[in-house]
Structure 1
Amino acid sequence: MKLATRIALSVTVVVPLLVLGAGLLVLGLVSRDLHRQQDTRLQDLAAAALPDVRTLLAADLRGRPKVEQNQHRKVLDAVLDAGIRVRSADGADVLEGGPQPADPARLPEPGTDGPVTVRAKGHAWRVLTVPVAGPAPGTLWLFTPASAADPQLTAVRGRVLLVALLSAPVSGLLARALAGRATASVRRLSRRAAALDPGAGAAAFATAPVNIAEVDELSTAIGQLLARYEEQAARTAQALDTARSFSSAASHELRTPLMSMRTDLDVLAAHPDLSPAERAEVVKDLQDDHARLLELLTALQMLARGDLVEASAFGPLDLAELVDTAVAEVARRHPGARTSTDLPAELRVFGWDAGLMILLANLLGNAVVHGHRPDEAPVVRVRLRAQGPYAVLTVDDEGPGIPPEDHDSVFRRFHHRPGSPGSGLGLTLVAQQAALHGAAVTIGTPEGGPGARIEVRLPLAAADGGALPALPARRDWISRGDAPAAGPAAGPAARPADSQRNHKDGP
C-alpha cells in the first residue's frame, strides 16, 4: 500500500472520531447550558410570583375565598407554563397547577439551595423550592420537565453525527491529495535511486535540496551510503591488488632462495659421503636461506598490513614507551650491540601502535645490522624529544653512512646492496608507516662523527585528543617499486646531503 493511501485511510478514520469526540464535548456543554437556562427561568418565575403567593397564603389563612380565587389566577399567570405548588405552614396544599411530579412525597424540603432534579415514575423534573416568610408562612415549588431541553440536544446530536459522516470522505479525499503532493519528492527520489548506475557512484546521485527535511535527510543518507559503498569497493579492490602483489612478489623473491635450498638438498642427497666440514657448510647455507625466506615473508606481511589498515586502528599512545620497548627487544636479539637512549617520561602521539612498532623495529634493526664497520660491535644511539608540534626520533649509528645519491633509493622495495643479508624491505616499511602517520623521514649524519642518522618527525597528539589526518588515498607499497620517504611534515630541509654511508636496508 502506498504511503499516500495509508495516510488517506488513517485520516478517514481519525477525523470522524475526532469530530465525534468534539461533538460529545459540545453536547455536554450545551446540555449544561440548557439546564442553567431552565434553572435561571425557574428563579425568575419564583421572584415574579412570590408577592402574589404571599397574598394567596394570607387570604387562605383569613378565610377570604374571593381574594384567594383572584390570587390563584394571578399566580398561575405569573408562572406561565411552569408547574407550581403552594403549601401552607400546616401542610395543606393551597394551589396546584401545571406539569409536576405525580408523587408529592418526593418534593424537596424547604432550605434546598437552588433547583434540584427529582425523578418520579420514569420522569425527571427540575424543582425549585422557595420558603415563603411573612404573617402566613408556607412553601412554593416551581417545576419544569428536565426533558424540556431534549429537542435541542437531539438537534445538536444529529448535527454532530452528520458532520462526522461527511468528514470521513471529505477528509480522506483531501488527505489523499495532500499526501500525494507531499510524497511526490519521495517518489522522484525513489525513481532516481532505481535508475542510478552502480558505477556512477555518489557524485551522480547528488541533488539539490527540496526543503523537506525528511526527503533531504533520506537523500543525504543515500548519498552517504553510496560513498561508503564506493570506499569499501575501492578498499576491496585494493585488498585484491595487495593479495595479488603479495603472491607475485613472494613468488618472484622466493624463487632464488628456494632454488638454492633445492640445490643444497640435492647435494646432500647425492653425496651421502660428504665430509663433516662440507656437510656443515651445506646445512649452514640451508639455514641462511630458510632465515631469509622467513624474513622476506614477514616483511611482505607487514607491508600488506600497512596497505590494508583502517583509520579505526589509530588512537592516542605514548611514543616514549614504544621506543623503550623496541630498544629492549633489539638489545635482546642482538646482545653484542651497544645501545643507548635519551627518552622523555612521556610523549603522546596519535597513531597505530602495531605500525609504529614495525617502524621502530626496522629502524633499530637496520642500524644494528648495517650501521657498523667490519669486526666492530654495532653502536646505536636513540633519542626522542618534542620539537614544536612534532615528536622527533633520531637513530644514530657509527657505520659507513649512506651516500647522498642513494637517499631515495634505499627506501625502494627490495633495494639492497649485493651480498646484503636483509630482505630489501626494512626501510620501505619505515617509509610506509611514516606516510600512514603523516610523518617525515630524513637521512643525515650524526653530529661529530661518521655514520648515518635517520630522523622521523611525527605530529604530536592534539591537546583535545584530535585524530590523525585522513590516511593516504592510495596505499600500494607492496606492489609499487619505489617508496619515497618524505611525508607531509618533512619541511624544507628534508634530506641533508652530507652523509657518507653505503646502502642500508632493514632486517
Structure 2
Amino acid sequence: MRLSTRIALWAGAVVPLLVVLAGLLLLPLVGRDLRHQQDTRINDRAAAVLPGVRALLAADSKGRPKAEQTQQRKVLDAALDSGLRVAGEDGSVLLSVGPQPADPLAFPTLPGGPATVHDQGRAWRVLTVRVAAGAGGATGTLWVVAPAGQEDSQTAAVRRRVLLVVLISAPVSALIGFVVAERATVPLRRLSRRAATLDPAAPAAPGGPGDGTRDPDGAGGPAAPGGPAGHGFVAERTGTAEVDELSAALALLLARYDEQARRTAQALDTARAFSSTASHELRTPLMSLRTNLDVLAAHPDLPAAERAEVVAELRDDHARLLDLLTALSTLARGDLVQLDAFRSVDLAEAADAAVREAARRHPQAAFTADVPDETRVFGWEPGLRIMLANLLDNAAVHGRTGREPAQATLRLAAEDGAVLLTVDDRGPGIGAAERESVFHRFHRRRDSPGSGLGLTLVAQQVALHRGTIRITTPPGGDGCRMEIRLPSPRPDAPTVELPAGRDWISGLHH
C-alpha cells in the first residue's frame, strides 16, 4: 500500500474519531448549559409570579373569592409558558395551570432549587418555593414547572449534527490527507526513482572517497550532503527534513560502499600483482635451488670443498628468496594502507631506533645520527620505519670503498615548513644517469646481494607521505646522499593525501 493511501486511510479514520470524541465531550456540556438556561427561566418565572401568589394566598385566607380570582388571572398572565401550582397551608390546591405532572405526589414537598421529577414516563423540572403572604399572614407552596424534554430535544439535535459532521469528515479528511500526502511524498518518490537508476557497476563519482581526496578536516569521510557521492548520486536538498536526511544517508551509504568496493578491488589487484610478480621473480632462485639440490642428491661423494660451495649457494638463494618475499609483502602493505592508519609520529625517535637496529644488523658498518630531540610528521609509523631501515641498509651495503667498512650518517632537521632527512655514505656514489632508475623495481647492481626492492620501498613510502626524494652528492664531494623532504603537519589539518592509484608491486603507480 502506498504511503499516501495509508495516510488517507488514517486521516479518514482518525478525524471522524476525533469529531466523535469532541461530540462526547460537547454533549454533556450542552446539556448542562441548556438545563442551566431552563432553571434560570424557571427562577425568573417564580420571581415574576411570586407577588401574585402572595396576594392569592392572602385573599384565600380572608375568604375573598373575587379578589382571589383577580390574583389568579395576574398569576396566569405572568406564567404563560410555565406550569404553576399553588397550594395553601392546609395542602389545598389554590391554582393549577399549565403543563405539569398529573400525580400530586410527584411534586417535591421541600423547598429548593429546580429538581427533575418523573411522572408517567415524562420528565419535569420543578422549582419549589415556600411563600408567606406577609407578617403573620397565610403561607403556602408555589411550584413552577417546565417540561424537561426541551433540553433533551436540543441535545438530540446537537447529537445529530455531530453525527452528520462525522459522516462528512470521513471522506473529506481522507481526500485531503491523500492530496497532502501525495504532495509531501513527491521528493521521496523522486529520490526513489533516482536510487533505482543507480548502477552498482558504475565507477564512483569524482570527489567521492574512491579518488583518494580528503575532506578539509582530514576525517576521510564521504562527501557532505549536497556534494558528489558514490555512483554519481547527489544528495539534493528538497526542503523536507526527513527526505533530506534519507538522501544524505543514502549518499553516505553509497560513499561507504564505494570506499569498501575500492579497497576490495585494490586488495584483489595487489594480490594478483603479488602472485604474478612473486611467481616470475622466484623462478630463477628456485631453479638454482633445485639445481644445487639435484647436484647434492646425484653426488653423495662430492668433495667437501665443492659440497661447501654448493651449500653456500643454497644459503644465498634462500636468503634472496626470503628477502624477496619480505620486500614484496612490505610493498603490498604500502599499497593497501589507508589514511586512518596515519597519525602524528616523532620521526627523531624513529630515526634513533632505526640507527641502533642497523648497527645491530651490520656490525661491520659505522652509523652516526644527528637528530633533534623531537621532530613530528603526520605519517604511517610502520612505513616510516621501513623507509629508514632500507635507507640505512642501502648505505651499509653500498657505502663501502675498497676494504674500508661502510660509514653512514643520518641527519634530521626542520626546514621551510618541511622535515629534511638525509643519509650520507662514503661509497662510490650513484651516477646522474642512474639516479632515477635505482628506485625501479628489481633494479640491482651486479654485486648487490639484495632483492632490488629496497629503494623501491623507500620511494613508495615517500610517495605515500607526499614527500620528495632525490639523490645528490654529500658536501665533501664523495659518496652518496639520499635527501628526503616530508611535509610538516599543519595545526588545523593533516598535510597527507594518499595517491589516487597505487600499485608498486607491478610498477604501475601514479
Q: In 1, are the aligned partners of 2:344 and 2:376 still within 8 Å (CA)?
A: yes
Q: Does 1:249 align with 2:277?
A: yes
Q: Which residue of 1 aligns with 2:33?
A: 33
Q: Which residue of 2 aligns with 1:99?
A: 100
Please show how residues 228-267 of structure 1 align to structure 2 within 5 Å.
228-267=256-295
Q: Which residue of 2 aligns with 1:493?
A: none
Q: Which residue of 2 aligns with 1:164?
A: 166
From the superposition, tell whether residues 357 and 139 of structure 1 become closer, same or farther in structure 2 (CA, over 3 Å).
farther
Q: Distance in 1 between matches of 2:465 and 2:52?
A: 110
Q: Which amino acid aligns with 1:247?
A: S
Please show how residues 438-453 of structure 1 align to structure 2 within 5 Å.
438-448=466-476, 450-453=478-481
- Counterpart selection for 1:364 from 381, 392, 400: 392
- Counterpart selection for 1:423 from 446, 451, 454: 451
- Counterpart selection for 1:308 from 311, 319, 336: 336
Q: Which residue of 2 aligns with 1:70?
A: 70
Deviation at 1:86, TM superposition (A): 5.9
The runs of 5 or more residues in structure 2 that have no matched partner are 206-230
Q: Distance in 2 between matches of 1:376 and 1:129?
A: 136
Q: Which amino acid aligns with 1:357?
A: R
Q: Which amino acid aligns with 2:294?
A: D
CA RMSD of the aligned region, Å? 3.7
Q: In 1, are the aligned partners of 2:84 and 2:96 still within 8 Å (CA)?
A: yes
> Deviation per CA, 1:305-326, whole angstroms, max 9, x where unpaired?
1112233323344434433443
Q: Distance in 1 between matches of 2:194 and 2:96?
A: 87
Of 207-216 and 439-448, more deviation after overlay is shown by 207-216
- Identity percentage of aligned residues: 60
Q: Which residue of 1 aligns with 2:222?
A: none
Please show how residues 196-275 of structure 1 align to structure 2 within 5 Å.
196-201=198-203, 209=236, 211=238, 213=240, 214-215=242-243, 218=246, 221-222=249-250, 225-275=253-303
Q: In 2, are the aligned partners of 1:201 and 1:227 still within 8 Å (CA)?
A: no
Q: Distance in 2 between matches of 1:448 and 1:128?
A: 128
The runs of 5 or more residues in structure 1 that have no matched partner are 485-507
> Deviation per CA, 1:242-296, whole angstroms, max 9, x where unpaired?
2222122112211221122222212222222233333222222211211111111
Q: Does 1:298 align with 2:326?
A: yes
Q: Which residue of 2 aligns with 1:487?
A: none
Q: Distance in 2 between matches of 1:58 and 1:188?
A: 91
Deviation at 1:301, TM superposition (A): 0.8
Helix, strand or coil at the partner of 1:272: coil
Q: Which residue of 2 aligns with 1:330?
A: 358
From the superposition, tell whether residues 25 and 274 of structure 1 become closer, same or farther in structure 2 (CA, over 3 Å).
same
Q: Does 1:151 align with 2:178?
A: no
> Deviation per CA, 1:144-195, whole angstroms, max 9, x where unpaired?
4444211111112112212212332333344445544554554455445445
Q: Does 1:473 align with 2:500?
A: yes
Helix, strand or coil at the partner of 1:255: helix
Of 351-360 and 179-188, more deviation after overlay is shown by 179-188
Q: In 2, are the aligned partners of 1:445 and 1:453 still within 8 Å (CA)?
A: yes
From the superposition, tell whether residues 196 and 463 of structure 1 become closer, same or farther in structure 2 (CA, over 3 Å).
closer
Of 217-226 and 75-84, more deviation after overlay is shown by 217-226
> Deviation per CA, 1:191-234, whole angstroms, max 9, x where unpaired?
45445554445657557958353555555555555555455444
> Deviation per CA, 1:373-422, whole angstroms, max 9, x where unpaired?
34334433334444454333333333333333333222111112112111
From the superposition, tell whether residues 317 and 418 of structure 1 become closer, same or farther in structure 2 (CA, over 3 Å).
same
From the superposition, tell whether residues 74 and 372 of structure 1 become closer, same or farther in structure 2 (CA, over 3 Å).
farther
Q: In 1, are the aligned partners of 2:346 and 2:375 still within 8 Å (CA)?
A: yes
Q: In 2, are the aligned partners of 1:102 and 1:120 still within 8 Å (CA)?
A: no
Helix, strand or coil at the partner of 1:455: strand
Q: Distance in 2 between matches of 1:130 and 1:320?
A: 110
From the superposition, tell whether residues 198 and 79 of structure 1 become closer, same or farther in structure 2 (CA, over 3 Å).
same
Helix, strand or coil at the partner of 2:75: helix
Q: Distance in 2 between matches of 1:58 and 1:229?
A: 105
Equivalenced residues, count: 478
From the superposition, tell whether residues 429 and 167 of structure 1 become closer, same or farther in structure 2 (CA, over 3 Å).
same
TM-score (normalizing by structure 1): 0.79
Q: Distance in 2 between matches of 1:145 and 1:445?
A: 123
Q: Distance in 1 between matches of 2:89 and 2:475?
A: 132
Q: In 2, are the aligned partners of 1:389 and 1:459 still within 8 Å (CA)?
A: yes
Deviation at 1:298, TM superposition (A): 0.9
Q: Which residue of 1 aligns with 2:408?
A: 380
Helix, strand or coil at the partner of 1:479: coil
From the superposition, tell whether residues 35 and 282 of structure 1 become closer, same or farther in structure 2 (CA, over 3 Å).
same
TM-score (normalizing by structure 2): 0.79
From the superposition, tell whether residues 86 and 251 of structure 1 become closer, same or farther in structure 2 (CA, over 3 Å).
same
Q: Which residue of 2 aligns with 1:460?
A: 488
Q: In 2, are the aligned partners of 1:202 and 1:224 still within 8 Å (CA)?
A: no
